[in-house]
């Protein structure tokens, strides 16, 4: 009985392995990190006054064929307001701005067009994506005369947005690819939620990527 159970287990494993490999073929997981460059109202000194920040995120992709890849992605971007560290009089006495940071999260889907290349070790691509974006401004101030501090989050609404970009991946081996990507993200904001100053919160993402193929042998020719 014990020998029979072992043989059944081995038979099931032999069947499951190719099924799992076939399911994973063409799929990859990507982690990325880099910078976020604010533009438009977000970067305007009289409006958002945001400066260069950083971002982290990840993606799950499936190569439909040699030309198209579809996937989902998410990221988190933080940009400092240039007033951080300054003592400013807003009309009710001077306060020191201890912290003023924009924090933006994004989730969405994307499509990549893979440019045909004779060199299989390099895969340049163009991308377009749509998704949800949410930004908040976290502010902490201190009254220099009393030493009392206060902090609050000024939350923007979750808004629909999109992105376009270019990138390229370089094959390190059958399992790992390294790459770079730049994308332009555009979000139309609700002025009632931003104090009337910011109508858009665009930024450029510049990042390095590490991608792991889930089925190296089966996906050696795919993104």
Strand partners of residue 109: 72, 130
CA atoms within 13 A on the CB side of 202: 12
pTM: 0.79
Provide the β-strand partners of residue 188: 200
Q: How many domains does the chain have?
A: 1
- Whether 222 is covered by a domain: the verdict is no
In-domain check, residue 179: yes
Q: CA-CA distance, 114 to 92, in Å (whole number)?
A: 56
Residue in 186, 176, 212 with CA at minimum distance from that of residue 38: 186
Work out whether strand 176-187 and strand 94-114 pair parallel, antiparallel, or are unpaired: unpaired
Within a domain: 218: no
What does the pLDDT profile of the chain (223 residues) look like in tens digits? 545 444 444 444 443 334 344 445 689 999 999 999 999 888 898 888 899 999 999 999 999 998 999 999 999 999 999 988 888 877 777 889 899 999 999 999 999 999 998 877 899 999 999 999 999 999 999 988 888 888 888 888 889 999 999 999 999 998 999 999 999 999 887 766 666 677 778 899 999 999 999 875 444 444 4
Cα–Cα distance, 100 to 153 (Å, whole number): 10
| Residue 69, domain member (yes or no) | yes
- Is the residue at 194 inside a domain? yes
Residue 19 domain flag: yes
Taking the C-alpha atoms of residue 173 and residue 178, their distance in angstroms, rounded to an integer, is: 10
Q: Where are the alpha helices (DSSP H) in the chain?
A: 2-24
Domain that holds residue 44: 2-213
**Residue 51, domain CATH:** 2.40.160.20
Residues 6+ apart with CB under 8 A from 91: none
Return the SS3 of 42: helix
- Residue carrying structure tokens 């163009």: 126
Asked whether 75 and 205 are in contact (CB, 8 A), the reply is yes
pLDDT of 199 reads 79
**pLDDT at residue 86, as a whole number:** 86
E strand or H helix that includes residue 87: strand 87-89
**Tokens 């989050």 identify what position?**
153
Does 220 reside within a domain? no
pLDDT at 194: 63
- The pLDDT value recorded for residue 154 is 84
Angle at 67 between CA 66 and CA 70, to 5 degrees: 100
Residue 221 included in any domain: no
Helix (H, G, I), strand (E, B) or coil at 16: helix
């Amino acid at each position: 009985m014990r020998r029979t159970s072992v043989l059944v287990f081995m038979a099931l494993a032999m069947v499951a392995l190719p099924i799992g490999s076939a399911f994973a073929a063409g799929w990859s997981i990507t982690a990325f990190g880099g910078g976020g460059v604010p533009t438009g109202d977000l970067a305007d000194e009289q409006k958002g006054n945001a400066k260069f920040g950083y971002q982290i995120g990840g993606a799950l992709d499936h190569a439909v064929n040699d030309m198209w890849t579809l996937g989902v992605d998410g990221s988190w971007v933080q940009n400092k307001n240039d007033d951080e560290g300054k003592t400013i009089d807003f009309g009710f006495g001077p306060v020191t701005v201890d912290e003023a940071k924009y924090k933006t999260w994004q989730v969405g889907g994307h499509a990549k067009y893979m440019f045909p290349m004779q060199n299989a070790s390099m895969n340049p691509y163009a991308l377009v994506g749509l998704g949800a974006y949410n930004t908040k401004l976290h502010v902490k101030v201190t009254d220099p005369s009393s030493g009392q501090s206060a902090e609050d989050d000024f939350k923007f609404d979750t808004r629909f947005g999109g992105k376009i970009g270019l990138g390229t991946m370089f094959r390190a081996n059958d399992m790992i690819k390294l790459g770079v990507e730049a994308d332009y993200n555009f979000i139309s904001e609700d002025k009632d939620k931003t104090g009337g100053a910011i109508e858009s919160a665009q930024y450029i993402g510049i990042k390095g990527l590490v991608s792991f193929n889930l089925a190296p042998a089966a996906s050696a020719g795919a993104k």
